Structures are given as C-alpha cells and as structure tokens.
Amino acid sequence: MHGPGDFELSRRGVLIGGAASVAATAAPVAEAAPEQAGSAGAGTPVMAKVGFKVNGKPHALELDTRTTLLDALREHLLLGGTKKGCDHGQCGACTVIVDGRRINSCLSLAVMHEGDSITTVEGLGTPEKLHPMQAAFVKHDGYQCGYCTPGQICSAVAVLDEIRAGIPSHVTGDIAGKPAMSADEIRERMSGNICRCGAYSNIIEAIGEVAARRKA
C-alpha cells in the first residue's frame, strides 16, 4: 500500500524533470547541426543567365534567381525611371510594359523574362521627343511629386491598348462587346496606380486627350 505522500512532487523536482526532458529531446538536433551547417544554406545565391530586350536593346545578365525584374532594371541596368514604391505590387510605381502588357515589375522575377521585350518609361520618349502620353501629362499637370509618374504613364499607354484590343474590365457593360473609351473605364483600369499627391483628375484628362487624339 502506498500512502498519499508517496506520490507528492516538489516544485523543484518538477522543474528538474522538465529540464532533463527538454535536454534529451534537443540532443539529436544539436548533433545534426554541424552537418547542416556544411551544406548549402537557404541564403546561398543561385545564379542564372537571362537575356531580354529593354527599350529595344538586348541585354544579357547573370543574376541571383531571386532578383526581381524591378531590381534588375534599377540596380543592374541603371534604369532608375521605374520606381520602387511599396515593393508589394500595391502602388503601381514599378509598372513596365512586357510584350505589350503592363506588369508590376516588383512582383516578377527577372529570370522569368528570358527573350521578352520590356519597355520602361525611358523607352517611351526622350526630353527632345516626348511620347504623346508624356506630353499630355505635362500639359495637364498630371503629376506633383512625380514619383508615381513613370508607372502612371506606362500603365496609361497600356490601358489604351487594352481598350483598343477589346479587353474588358470590371466596369465594362457588355464583356462580349468592345469596351467604350470612357472616364469610368480609364479610372477602373488605372486604379492599381496610386498617386499619393492626388492628381487623379489631371491624369484622367491627360489619358482622355491621348485617347481622343488616337480615335480622331
């Protein structure tokens, strides 16, 4: 027969027993650590070659496979017009045009674009010969601080091409028909490009003028 006192544990005993259990569980992990340290870690870069055209010029780069297209353009090709804003695909400042379609370059890996044709704001026009969209932004004061402007302009150019190609948006009344070139369509399609200064009405006017000129 065992009395009630035979099974009583002190606080000290519980702590000692718990510490011993933890040490025994952790021991195999500690032994495996040196072997793991000798292998390639998660931080070891894997390099890959990639070739694409940027603004009509071919480029061949060897990049860490984790390099975004945005960083390849800015850091490796020194094309600083494409801006890094949120770096999460939410502001549109990094918008570029790839094979005729706009993308957020911060969300796309450079190695995914082997053989692609990429257009940045530098490839649309020059100070001596502005692209019509660039000229319209200047005319209508479609910018204030200017940080989002390269992405806004690249997106605007692609938006007009999308509408002309008949690609519907969330506000298109008849998705089987051709979208109308309207302020609502432009606003919806440009909604991914954020202007923290609030120059939206001027941006819409600039895009509308270029759209009307194309239609004429």
Report the predicted TM-score, pTM, of the whole model to 2 decimal places. Answer: 0.78
Per-residue pLDDT tens over the stretch 86-116: 999 999 999 999 999 999 999 999 999 999 9
- Say which residues have a Cβ less than 8 Å from residue 93's Cβ, sequence separation at least 6: 82, 83, 84, 85, 86, 147, 148, 150, 151, 193, 194
Per-residue pLDDT tens over the stretch 131-172: 999 999 999 999 999 999 999 999 999 999 999 999 999 999
Q: Which domains does the chain have, with CATH numbers?
A: 45-123 (3.10.20.30), 125-216 (1.10.150.120)
Per-residue pLDDT tens over the stretch 50-82: 999 999 999 999 999 999 999 999 999 999 999
CA angle 121, 123, 128 (to 5 degrees): 95
**Residue 12 confidence (pLDDT):** 57
CA–CA dist 95, 161 (Å, integer): 15
